[in-house]
Amino acid sequence: MSDGGHSGPLHIVPKGTILLVDDSTELVRGLTKLLENDGFKVVSLPSGATVAETVAMHEPDLVVLDVMMPVVDGWEALRRIRENPAYERLPIMMLTAKGTEDAKVKGFTLGADDYLAKPFSVREFRCRVEALLRRTRSTEDTDRDRLPVVAESGTQFVEVNAIVYIEGVRNYTYLHTFDTRFLGRMSLGAIEAKELPDFMRVHRSFIVRLSAVKGYHWASKSSFKLVLNNSQGTTIPVSRKLVTEVKRRIG
């Protein structure tokens, strides 16, 4: 019998993805239920051994990381995440039974954004999660017209309108301007998610500023290339399934 409208299941878009890293099955089960009820997608790990790979795969909006874990503890897991420039700004909350000042200082020094000592209340945990995500989204809105890159002083920003194309290499990016390139602090997927005007992901490894395209051609029967107006006249491959859309958008 028809329910009067939907031909299939209703798909709910989650508020974001949260990675839980804790060896306590009971705690993870409880926090997962709490976060899913609040509208989040949850990914979990029992230790920090594969945390870097999991972050790269799922690109979470927040990591909740226990300190005391077997194999790879929270301090090492935190270090592994932060050593990748693409995740320097990923918010990370540490959970630990050690609420000492020295432990907190160590966490903040290694790059943690917040620190919650066990045992904690559900209400406090929920408030801290929302605060971290709100702070991150506010920063992203402020920086919509510029992207963070690695600099000797830590972080500097490149204006979006100066970028010709963005190249993804493994889990990091290069931002190419007319005659310079910068090591980006955001992944290709995170940049694509910003939906920057005049930019299009034309290949699994490239996002291109469409107004910077000065020409295009078939390099072979199966290889379509864009020619950019930077100082090198860089050519960028286009995924075959996107050729028609790219040509339409370029005009």
Mean pLDDT, contiguous 10-residue spans, the chain (251 residues): 39 76 95 94 95 93 94 93 86 83 79 88 93 76 74 79 93 91 89 91 97 95 94 96 94 81
Looking at residue 138, its pLDDT comes to: 64
Looking at residue 156, its pLDDT comes to: 83
Give 17-142's CATH code, choosing from 2.10.109.10, 3.40.50.720, 3.30.470.20, 3.40.50.2300. Answer: 3.40.50.2300
Residues 6+ apart with CB under 8 A from 40: 14, 15, 16, 17, 18
Looking at residue 9, its pLDDT comes to: 43
Looking at residue 139, its pLDDT comes to: 62
Residues 6+ apart with CB under 8 A from 47: 21, 23, 69, 70, 71, 72, 77
Domain layout of the chain by residue ranges:
17-142, 146-250
pTM metric for this prediction: 0.56
Superfamily (CATH H level) for 146-250? LytTr DNA-binding domain (2.40.50.1020)
Looking at residue 18, its pLDDT comes to: 97
